[in-house]
Structure 1
Amino acid sequence: MNQAVNQAVPAAHAEPLKSRRQRLYRTLWRWHFYAGVCCIPFVIILALSGAIYLFKPQFEGWVDRPYNQLAVTGQAVPVNQQIATARAAVPGSQFMTYQLPASEASAAIISVSDAGVRTLVYVDPYQNTVLKQIAYNDQFMQQVKAFHGALLAGTVGSVIVELAACWAVILVVTGLYLWWPRTSKGFAGVLYPRLRQGRRIFWRDIHGVTGFWLASFTLFLLISGLPWTTVWGAAFKEVRQWNAAPVEQSWSSGAVKAAPAWRPLTVDQVNLSGHVVSAARELNLAPPVELSVAASEPLLIKVSSLTQNRPSRATVWLDGQTGNVQRTSNFEQKGTLDRVIGFGIAAHEGQLFGWFNQVLGVITALGLVLLCVSGTVLWWRRKPAKKLGAPASVPAGRAGVVVSLIILALGIALPLVGMSLLAVLVLEWLILRRFRAIRDWLGLAKPA
């Protein structure tokens, strides 16, 4: 009899435990569903635009190919004359930067500013003629970047993208919890999809297995993109300034711009003498390399490598008269936090470890599109008529403590998630649960 009692005790405790796990599972499934509904359009936008931007160096090399095959005829005219030609092409403009030609047969790219509008002017260094001019923000890859980061909608678009990215983090984390195998039935449907067991199993496995293999890459892309965002990025910038000396930040966060002292100075007068330009060439910085007037010290010429592979970047300040090196800043001299962010940004843009980095980025992007498509198919196939088809809400019980802690952690780590969750809870309590038609369509429980 004692043995029977002993066997009955764990069984009695197992049921509540199982029930709590089921409640937590249902709650997180509901979160996963709503995060997917909100995120799918934006995830597709971010994936496709990001995949295009991965190939920025190759695309710009192809666009500029006609300007890198010029006839070399004698000596190039002095750089100062080239700058004067570029400024004359945009009347009333001021000098911003001079980009060192990639080779002897390449045009000089000079950027000038007129009423705050930056224009790139391509100048033949031998004929001293303008070959092309285009507004900096009108370049195709700049448009792709602006669309990827802010939907071409300024600060509002940036916040929308950030909100979608933050909820995509929740989508991945909850998806991993829902995917996690709870029985030992082998690897089918866990590590590889079952392709011949009907459409329902096919689409479920495509969604779950693809999500598992892409989870780490997706989380990396989402987290490494956060420093560019408006809310999280601005907060991170403040934390960075508390823990590091005020050195140049090699990325911008949404509408937050770099300090004026770190931007190219727009000037009416500049003297890029031959020995200064030669000294800049001899530094052998990773291209593209731009020369500008140092904003905080106008007597110095700032030579900056703008390669997308952040760890290869360096900045050197030259004496504007002699061309002598005054000081140098490179990646190794940055703080630990900035180096971590630099590695993350370079990998995010597909430039950290060559072509394989780009291939991984494309695979992840296409996999995210497949996840969105398969998730939509799963929803559509099981959605009841005239209802959204969200998993039914259930009383959380003790699982509510776990969910509350998760919400608190997310609200701290991702402020926009916390604010949006609070807004949704208030909206649900005040309005959505009060109207039967809306409540039934969303699958909400009746108000207490």
Structure 2
Amino acid sequence: MSVIPDSPPQPAPDDPHWSTATTAEEAPASTPAANTRPLRSRQGVWALLRRLHFYAGVFVAPFLFLAALTGLAYTVTPQLDQLVYGDELRVEHAAGQQHSLADQIGAARAAHPEGSLAYVVTPPTAEDTTRVVLNVPGLENDRQRTVFVDPYTNKVKGDLTTWFDETPLTTWLDDLHRNLHLGETGRLYSEVAASWLWVLVLGGLALWLGRARGQRAKSVRGVLVPDRSARGVRRTRSWHAVTGVWLSIGLLGLSATGLTWSHYAGDRFGSLLDAVHAHAPALDTSPRSADADSANTGGGHAGHGMAHGTGHSGLSGFDVSLATARKAGLGGALTVTPPAEQGNAWSVAQDDRVWPVHLDQVAVDARTGDITAYNKWSDYPLLAKLSKLGVAAHMGILFGIANQIALAVIAIGLIFGLVWGYRMWWQRRPTRADRRAAFGGAPERGVWRQLPLTVLLLGIPAVIALGWALPVLGVTLLGFLVMDVLAGVVQRRRHA
């Protein structure tokens, strides 16, 4: 908001043709604008914001529209999963004593002896099945086979090819949202959307708040409520801007969290976490006793054997680790993972994203039932917490259905805001008999000449640094500048 000048610009006329400022080439020869250089003032900041907001809106809006549409589809994946895969995900009758994990894994391995055992996820609620996850050769792109077992009857309910515990349908919608099923190249679309979303939101807020101060009598209502008495482009602008104000916090959050797991900006964010040592702590599963590697029974050989799908006796390590974790206070759905090397501890991770969030982890010596390491969620670095919670919120799995509803509202609001933005562009088109066009023109060129020198001296290094931190933003911004220069050359030659 620091870009808002002390004296905001004059409001636009009600004429729907307003938006294309008269350039020096178009001005009559008798006017001072035709013969004098524009003065540097804070008004230049507003002019630059209008031009940047216009170009970013026109060219980035299609990417944002795709991200909003695919994201809206992803918000309902929990309900779609229950509808499509209800037979695998739910039990028939949640009654009676549950079988041990060893028995359930034994039933799953009897039905699916292929591959090796990766980990087991306990049911999040009494109506859910246990998930036995297998690493199976031949499955590509980190896919695994998940076998669903009824913990009450010990019967296998079915199996699915999953990706990080996501069903095939959720995985398909996830890929659609992230990369449009175009692989790493397709990820550029979502990174363009995330890189420019915050620029559009903050720029739009600055322009709208400045207009409200200058035109709508400093009223909060003027900022938060559309002007339904307006007509034409003013009415559309009012709906476009007010929608952006109401959704601004959510849109900025989606932009930030989307950038953290993007390709290029995500690498920069990972480097930042490395520099400040803010990554989530890794659970230490190394052996705690000198004879752990030579143990012939219990957790060491149990985990090693099960990792290769051999034997039934080693499965008892799952129950020992689960019981120990429960005693330590871990609740909800727990992921129990056998050690990759004999002698190492088993890991049990908590996944409870209902407030208050619980994401603790423990390492368990399955031979003795002792906890050898404990990572508490409360001890995570602040950046690691914000990153994990932000990603969960972005995926709609934080705080349950409330998160899904909020995401759906934001996605729908963004779609309407984009449509209103394009409608404004169309409404501002010239309609005079001697000058017609399909769309309105861009704001005046050359506004950088009106910027105060202080803004230029501080702004150029800041933009360069921002382009390094967000490479896709930097490259596309450079593309806008090149395109703008070429358009200016063409315009000058046309006038000449």
TM range (shorter): 0.7 to 0.9
Q: 1:267 to 1:388 in 2, by over 3 A?
A: farther
Structure 1 stretch displaced more, 39-48 or 107-116: 39-48
Extract unaligned runs of 5+ from structure 1.
1-14, 251-263
Structure-1-length-normalised TM-score: 0.78
SS in 1 for 2:114: coil
Q: Quick one: distance in 1 between partners of 2:158 and 2:43? A: 64
Counterpart for residue 420 of structure 1 = 476
In structure 1, the residue matched to 2:122 is 100
Mapped partners of 2:335, 2:250: distance in 1: 33
CA contact (8 A) 1:292 1:303 kept: yes
**Corresponding residue pairs, total:** 413
Match status 1:79 vs 2:101: yes
- Determine whether 1:340 maps to 2:386: yes
Bigger relative CO (Cα 8 Å, ≥ 6 apart)? 2
- Segment of structure 1 superposing worse, 414-423 or 293-302: 293-302
- 2:278 equivalent to 1:278: no
Does 264-273 or 219-228 show the bigger shift? 264-273
What is the CA-CA distance between 1:201 and the residue it aligns to?
A: 2.1
Give the Cα–Cα distance (whole angstroms) in 2 for the partners of residues 62 and 397 of structure 1.
59
Q: How does 1:143-158 map to 2 (within 5 A)?
A: 143-158=172-187
Moved over 6 A (4+): 15-19, 72-75, 444-448
| Pairwise CA distance, 1:69 | 3.2
Aligned to 1:24: 45
Aligned to 1:208: 241
What corresponds to 1:112 in structure 2? 134
Instruction: Supply the distance in 1 between the matched residues of 2:244 and 2:125 (Cα, whole angstroms).
Output: 45
Task: Choose from 158, 161, 164 the match for 1:132.
Answer: 158
**1:161-200 to 2 correspondence within 5 Å?**
161-179=190-208, 180-181=210-211, 182-183=213-214, 185-186=216-217, 187=219, 189-200=222-233
Give the corresponding residue for 1:407. Answer: 463
Q: Distance in 2 between matches of 1:56 and 1:65?
A: 13
Q: Name which of structure 1's ranges 200-209 and 301-310 shifts more when overlaid on structure 2.
A: 301-310
Aligned to 1:393: 445
CA-to-aligned-CA distance 1:123-159 (integer Å, 9 cap, x gap):
2345543211111145322333332233332222223
- Larger displacement relative to structure 2 (60-69 or 111-120): 60-69
CA contact (8 A) 1:23 1:394 kept: no
Greater displacement, 138-147 / 54-63:
54-63
Shift of 1:367: 1.7
Conserved? CA contact 1:433–1:447, under 8 Å = no
Residue of 274, 277, 289 corresponding to 2:334: 289
Q: Which residue of 2 aligns with 1:299?
A: 344
Is residue 75–residue 126 contact of structure 1 (8 Å, CA) maintained in 2? yes
Match of 1:255 in 2: none
Bigger share in helix:
1
Shift of the alpha carbon at 1:409? 4.9
**Distance in structure 1 (CA, Å) of the matches to 2:399 and 2:98:** 36
Answer whether contact 1:311 1:342 (CA < 8 A) is retained: no
The aligned amino acid for 2:120 is Y
2:181 is paired with a residue of what secondary structure?
coil
Distance in 2, matches of 1:185 and 1:349, equals 38
2:135 partner amino acid = S
1:268 corresponds in structure 2 to: 308
**Cα deviation digits, residues 299-349 of structure 1 (max 9, x gap):** 322111233459421111111223322211121121222123234334434
Judge which range, 105-114 or 288-297, deviates more.
288-297
Q: 1:46 aligns with which of 64, 67, 83?
A: 67
Structure 2 CA distance for partners of 1:228 and 1:189, relative to 1, 3 Å: same
Q: CA deviation at 1:222?
A: 1.0
Amino acid of the structure 2 residue aligned with 1:183: G
Equivalent residues of 1:99, 1:290 under 8 A apart: yes
Change (3 A) 1:197 1:243: closer
Kindly provide the CA deviation profile for residues 36-83 of structure 1, in whole angstroms up to 9, marking residues without a partner as x. Answer: 122222223333443444455555556665443334787655534533
What is the one-letter code of the residue matched to 1:160? Answer: Y
SS in 2 for 1:312: coil
Q: 2:332 is paired with a residue of what secondary structure?
A: coil
Q: Once the 2 structures are TM-superposed, how far is the Cα of residue 118 of structure 1 from its aligned partner?
A: 0.4
Counterpart Cα distance in 2 of 1:64 and 1:287: 21
Q: How does 1:227-376 map to 2 (within 5 A)?
A: 227-244=260-277, 247-248=280-281, 267-269=307-309, 271-273=314-316, 274-295=319-340, 299-308=344-353, 311-353=357-399, 355-376=401-422
Q: Is the 8 A contact 2:280 2:384 kept in 1?
A: no
Counterpart AA for 2:115:
S
Moved more, 384-393 or 149-158: 384-393
Report how far residue 195 of structure 1 moved. 1.2
Task: Tell me the percent identity.
Answer: 29
Measured on the aligned residues, the alpha-carbon RMSD in Å equals: 3.7
CA contact (8 A) 2:429 2:439 kept: yes
The answer to whether the Cα contact below 8 Å between 1:68 and 1:103 also exists between their aligned partners in 2 is no
Q: Deviations over 1:3-58 (max 9, x none)?
A: xxxxxxxxxxxx99986344432322221122112222222333344344445555
User: Residue 53 of structure 2 contacts residue 203 of structure 2 at CA under 8 Å; is this kept in 1?
Assistant: yes
Deviations 1:251-306 (A, max 9, x none): xxxxxxxxxxxxx9992147331434433444453432211123477632211123
Residues 183 and 107 of structure 1, relative CA distance in 2, 3 Å threshold: closer
TM-superposed deviation, 1:95: 0.8
Gap change, CA 1:49 and 1:289, over 3 Å in 2: farther
Distance 1:297 1:229 in 2: 36
The residue type paired with residue 63 of structure 2 is F
User: Normalising to structure 2: TM-score of the pair?
Assistant: 0.71
